Structure formats: structure tokens, C-alpha cells
A and B are shown apart, each in its own frame.
Chain A
Amino acid sequence: MSEKNVNICSGEKLVLLIKNPETLFVLWSFNETNERNFEKGIYTRQVELRIFALSELLPVLSFKFDFNDNRNYIQMPVKEGEYFASLYARNEKGEEMKLLESNVILAPVGKSKEVNYTYGSQFFKRGQI
């Protein structure tokens, strides 16, 4: 979970970004109605993030978070292919609702390089004394 930050732009979204071949970054925000539903306890606090392969019906990965933990790093699906995520909540009766659906990402194969890998941007734009 990353540090908390106050954002100035509001709108509902669920976004997947590739950080590296092992890690996906997931980010979400709810519309006002859903935000209120969480705060009033109409929805349970826990949300479930499911990762689906475009070609399959069943999720390949799932993760549970508090609805407020809206920036997370999760593992990448192991098989190369196109994936998207959906975010689900449950109401007080235990009924499940899909609240958000993400963009589609193309999961890569590969591994992060060694720390001493010769990369281009090792000279910072402005160094520190």
C-alpha cells in the first residue's frame, strides 16, 4: 500500500498499469454514490479485485482489499496474454456487485533486471549535493 495523497480530480475508475513483468499497479476510485455506500456501511468495507484473461470466463487471480486502499501493487498473471480487472463489493445482505472494470493490459513475460543493469537514466536530471 502506497502513501495517502489528496487528489483534486474525482471520477470513478479502475486502472491497471504495468510496473515491470512481475508487478501490476492497480488504482481505483468510486463515484460519489458508491463512496457513500461504503461509508454508510451499505457495502462491506472489503472489496475483491479479480483479474480475468480476456479469453477466459473465470478469474486467474483475485485479491481482497479495504475499499480505501486504492493504490496497490499486485503480482502479474504468469501467462502472457491480455487481461483486465473487475472490482466487486458486497452489500449488507452479502450480495455481490461489480462496481468497476479496468482497461485491458497485455501481460508481458520476463523478469526485472539486476539492480546494476546498465540503464540510460542513471544520471539524474539534477543531482544532490
Chain B
Amino acid sequence: MSSKGSLMFVLHAHLPYVYHPGDIDIVEESWFFEAVVETYIPIISFIENLSRDGLHPSIAISLSPTLSAMLENKELERKLSDYVAKRLKLISKEKENVTNPVIRKTLDMYYNLYSSAEATLDKYNGDLVGAFKQFSQAQLIEIMTTSATHAILPLLPRPEAVRAQMAVAADDYLYRFNKKSRGFWLPECAYEKKLQTYLKLSGFEYTFLEAHALEKFDMGVYSPVSAGNNLKILARDVTSSRDIWSAQFGYPGDPNYREFYRDLGYDADPEYIKPYLGMGQGKKPVGLKYYRITGRDVALSEKQLYDPVAAEETVKKHVEDFIEKRLKQCEEIYSHKNSKPVIIGCYDAELFGHWWFEGPRFLETVIREIRNKRVPLQIVKPAEYIDSIGEPPVFEPEISSWGEKGYFDAWLNESNDSVYSDIICVTDKMISAATRFKNQNLDRLNQRALNQAAREVLLSQASDWPFLIYVNSHRTYAFSRIREHVSNALLLLNQVFSKNIDEKFLSNVENKNSIFPYIDFRVFASASKF
């Protein structure tokens, strides 16, 4: 049977750069450990499972440079191993104490999850980027990059800063994967027209936008378009995304699925759980969650016990529903447009596993069912799809993002706008310094100081900081990170200009914010290689 249309799954994997060398039990580093165990390793596992059974996953993953750097960081790797070992110890202790058979089933599930994490880390020698690289080389998946530190590019007023975010990301990808990234994930799908020029000049062939960027295009989001400069635009389908993304209407809100917010770290006796919480005050999540969502308006204290078997049955039901809806959607689009659509589902990777615990299982089962049952839907990767369709029609996309209200409100509002003065100011100073020194023969120390200043400026621009301030979560940490990077960059630039570089300080910040090892500060210069 010929296909009724194509499905494209795009997972955007990103975490801000949260590396605190020498420190232990940093809460923000646990974001990374949780995401590795609950999301990245389950994704690796389902790619392996499908591949072992001769089924191509054909998903696209955008791996942010900050996440990739953390995945390759040896100290974080050691801390991750400790984190996993500690959780396995806690699970064993829980198994000794818990008699309830339903919780014991859940504990078995967690044992498998953490054992699998340990085995996967062992199998790839701790190199999870290497695992993704192998899958990409085997053409099982496609990997693309995103801006260097996940900056919202329309909120950078200087073109030099936008180009630096793109060029550093492009070089970082080339260094890591030995080839260029054809695609570019725009952080939060944040787009404005000037970006198409910089994307094209940076060597990227396509990007993804939010649906309403193409709302005036007659084929809607179901067919790529070419922006004026031949940059290919693929747009997110809201209908299929809603099934998965929406906490209110989507699958992740099903009463049988695991409740994210009720965690043993909050429920257990403080003395009992203390050894597993690490240092610092207060209760923290430990990743063991024994309850299910139960109902939308059910208080956390009233939640019922999670049953992995019931959750698995629900996954099957949702997979069936998802495939049926996509087939119907393809038929409807074909009947209106007389053209086979491509339905593009873009998601934060961390939704799968971390937020929606059953998400990786859902995605694996969708792909498995479509492949095994020869459902007339093609699962396609972006580059192979673009290569197969000829020249798409030219259309100028509109300014947009996939954020709240469709634009940049979440990253620029009264709660967080105070951070932009410093970020823009230090970026201006970096551009001036790079332009001033770009053709000078600098000694190693000056070169190092300017390169580190460039790293600090990029890190200050991360979208995560204003977002965390906006949602009032880790707000102090977010403010402090911007302040730290701005302050480091200013100090280093001042030291370069005053010919008085403090080598000890430079070594400290190089050690701490050790991302982009091959960066050249000249990427910020006004008359750059573009």
C-alpha cells in the first residue's frame, strides 16, 4: 500500500551548561543526571531496540552544544555514575522495607531503569554523544545542532552576536561529528526574518518553525517551503503536537501515567532519605515516584499508586489512537490539498522520560507499530525528506516562536527584562574587542583571555536564564549565572586592554566554564568571515 503521508519526529535535546567542578550535590547538576537516566539513555535504548529488530527509528535529534559538552565532561560522568549508584542503593533499601506489591512492581521498574543506565554508560564507556554519533553514522537517526548556548536569537540585537551563536555551534558540531550539520534547530523556534540570512551564511540548509510562521501559506505546515534565500523551512504541526505536548489534553496527562511531582524525596522520613539527598538544606526529589496522575484535580496527597502494567496498557492505547489520528489527518489533508502531507512533530526531548515517564516507550511503540504493521505512513528524517521532494515553493515565514502566546513574551517581560542591559552591554564590548584584536598577532595568554571572554559572553546569552526567572524557578541561580558570566567577561576584557592578565583567575574560569575548547574570539568580530 502506498503511503498516505509522512511523519517526522524531531526531538530537541538541551540543558543549560550546569557544570560546577569540584562541588558535589549541586541541585542544578542533578537536572543533567535526571535527564540522562530518564530521557537520553531511554532514547538510546529504544534506538538500539528498534535497530536490533531491523527497524529504522528515523528520528531527528538536535543535540545542543551545551548538552553535548556536559555529556562529554569526565567529571560529570563520574558524578553521574555516583548518582546512578546511589539511586540503585536506595532502590535496594526500599525493596528491603516495602511490602506493598504494587510499589514493589514500581521498584522493579526503577531497578531496571537505573541498571540499564549503568549498563549503557558502561557499554559506551561513558560517551553517550558517541552513541548518538554511531546511530547517525548508521543513518538510524539524524543529528543537528542549535545555537551555541541556546540563545533566543531574535533577542540579540547585534548581527555579530547572532552569527557568533551560529558559527560556534556549526564549528562545535563539525569538531564533534566530523561533518557539518545540515539542519539548525532555532531555540524555542524563535524566528524573525533576518535569521534566514545568517542561517544560510552559516551553512545550514533547513530549520524548523512554529506553525503560525506559515499560517498564510496555502499548504499550511504540511509541506516545506523555501525562504527567499533557499533556506528550507519545516513547520511544526500543532494538531499532532497537542496530543503529545499538552498537559491538559495530551496523552501525558492520563490518570494511569506516573505523577511527576510526588517524589519519595518529599514523602520519606527526612533522616531515612538524608543519605540520598546529598548536602544542602531541605527536601529534594530523588527520582523515585510511586504514584500516578490519578486525576487532573487530585491533590498530591490523594494520588493513587502507580502500576507499571496499567501504564503500559495505556501506552498501547495511546499509540493506537495516535496512529489512527495521523492516518485520518493525512487523508483529510490529501482530500483538501491533493498532496501527501508531512506531519512534523517537534518536542523537547526531555518531555520523553523525564516529564512524561512513559514517553520513550510511546515513541518506540509508535515507530515499531508503523514499521511492523506496514501502516501507510512513512517515518522520515528531515534531510532525507528534503532531498526527496524537489524544490519547494518560495514563501516568506512570519516572526514566531513556539513559546507562550507564539512570540518572545516568555523570555522578555517585566520579570526578566532587567537582565538584557548587561547581556547586550557585555556582548557589545566583546564585539568591540574582537574587532579591535582580530588581525593582531596575540601571544597565547591574550588569546586565551579573549577566547574565555567569548565563552562567558555566549554563556550569558542562554535562553534558560530569563526563562527560569520568568517561571520563578531557580531564579536566584539564573540571575547569578548571568552575573557570573558578564562579570568574568568584563574582567577578562579589562585585563586584556590594561595588559594585566591575571593568569590564575583566567585558569580558574577556563576550568569552570570549559565549553567550546576550540573557540576563536574573532567569531565576534564585526567584519567576520561572513
Contact = CB atoms under 8 A, between A and B. Distances in A.
A123 B348 CA distance: 9
Nearest to B241: A118
Nearest to A5: B418
A124 B473 contact: yes
B412 A129 contact: no
Q: Which among B31, B404, B473, B487 has the greatest number of chain A C-beta atoms within 10 A?
A: B404
Contact of B410 (A7, A29, A121): A121
Interface in A96-126: 103, 106, 108-110, 112-115, 117-126
A3 B469 CA distance: 13
Contacts of B404: 115, 117, 119, 121-122
Interface residues of B, number: 66
Interface string B406-423: 111110111001111110
Given A122-B246, A123-B351, A126-B473, A18 B429 contact: no
A124 B471 contact: yes
B188 interface: yes
Contact of B425 (A4, A10, A21, A120): A10
A25 B472 CA distance: 21
A120 B347 contact: yes
Nearest to B408: A19
Contacts of B210: 119-120
B409 A112 contact: yes
Interface in B171-206: 188-189, 192-194
A120 B405 CA distance: 10
B241 A17 contact: no
A25 B416 CA distance: 12
B468 A9 contact: no
A120 B188 contact: yes
A18 B192 contact: yes
B347 A19 contact: no
B266 A129 contact: yes
A60 to B, nearest CB: 19
A108 B426 CA distance: 28
A18 to B, nearest CB: 6
A8 B483 contact: yes
Contacts of A74: none
A21 B157 CA distance: 16
Contacts of A126: 31, 468, 473-474
A122 B398 contact: no
Contact of B348 (A2, A13, A120): A120
B346 interface: yes
A53 interface: no
B269 to A, nearest CB: 18
A71 interface: yes
A118 B238 contact: yes
A120 B31 contact: no
A118 B407 contact: no
Interface in B314-366: 346-348, 350-351, 355
Nearest to B419: A5
Nearest to B246: A118
5 contacts: A7-B418, A11-B429, A16-B157, A19-B409, A118-B241
Interface of B: 31, 154-155, 157-158, 188-189, 192-194, 210, 212, 236, 238, 241-242, 245-247, 260-261, 266, 300, 346-348, 350-351, 355, 398-399, 401-410, 412-414, 417-422, 424-426, 428-429, 464, 467-468, 471-474, 483, 486-487, 490
The 5 closest A-B pairs by CB, nearest first: A5-B418, A120-B402, A9-B425, A20-B407, A113-B406
Given A113-B407, A120-B347, 19 more contacts: A8-B486, A9-B421, A18-B154, A20-B405, A25-B420, A29-B425, A71-B417, A108-B398, A108-B399, A113-B212, A119-B401, A119-B402, A120-B188, A120-B348, A121-B403, A122-B247, A123-B348, A125-B467, A128-B472
